[in-house]
Amino acid sequence: MPRIITYNVNGIRAALGKGLINWMKLAKPDILCVQEIKAHPEQVAVFDFEELGYEHYWHPAQKKGYSGVAIFTKIKPDKVIYGCGIEKYDFEGRFIRADFGDVSVVSVYHPSGSSGDERQDFKMKWLQDFQKYVDNLKKMRSKLILSGDFNICHKPIDIHNPVSNANTSGFLPEEREWMEQFMQSGFVDSFRYFNTEPHQYSWWSYRAGSRGKNLGWRIDYNLVTENLKKNLKHSVILSEAMHSDHCPVLLDIDF
């Protein structure tokens, strides 16, 4: 049964310096989907991953030290697709897909809109284009696992203070509405499938000791198509992992 973990590492070189390899030995992901790698493979000691038995596939941003996604896997994929074929998004390294038999696993990094209106507009356009892309992809690859940082809290339970954050990027009504209709288009939030309790988050601001106080947001997801729902075994947020301002989210699934 494959163990899939999604992790926004906020700079893979920094995460490696904080013990990422040792954590991987203990967490034992079969497939690790990482986001915000902020590096090209030639800048990283990839031998460390290979020693653990991982093949590694990278889709970094063109801009140095920015964005980028990768997949590390112990299961050999049949095929790897880099990017989504839309230049302005592929330039930022936001999407990589690996096919394993009839199941496709995607590492995706949705844009943040927190730096201002221009990026918020970019994010909303991306969301629209992402929905279209995934709708088309499902026609060819009907079993999808979308693992990554969506930069959106779906519901009030997913954020520490829904009232004061009502007009904050990542919890805007139009973003949450997009998330809702995306789920309705045929996806299951695997974490919520097993966990209905509040105060479970995957990202904390570096400001004001937010992590220590657990003032967080749940913006990292493993979404699976409805046809994989019966294969779901277990999902948990690994909040003790401290290599990033995010933490990993684990999914055990039978495929």
Task: List the helix and strand counts (H, then E) for the chain.
Answer: 7, 14
Residue 35: phi and psi, rounded to 5, are -130, 160
Q: What's the DSSP call for residue 75?
A: S
Q: What token pair was written down for 129? A: 């284009």
Q: How far is CA 25 from CA 5, 53, 240, in A?
A: 13, 10, 15
Look-up: residue for tokens 């902020």?
38
Confirm whether 149 is a catalytic residue: yes
Helix axes 117-140, 173-184, angle to 10 degrees: 0
DSSP codes, 83-128: S-S-HHHHTTT-EEEEEETTEEEEEEEPPP-TT-HHHHHHHHHHHH
CA gap 69, 74 in Å, rounded: 17
- Cβ neighbors of 208 (< 8 A, separation 6 or more) are 215
- The 3-state DSSP composition of the chain as helix, strand, coil percent (nearest 5) reads 30, 30, 40
**Active-site residue, from 30, 149, 158, 189:** 149
Catalytically active residues are: 149
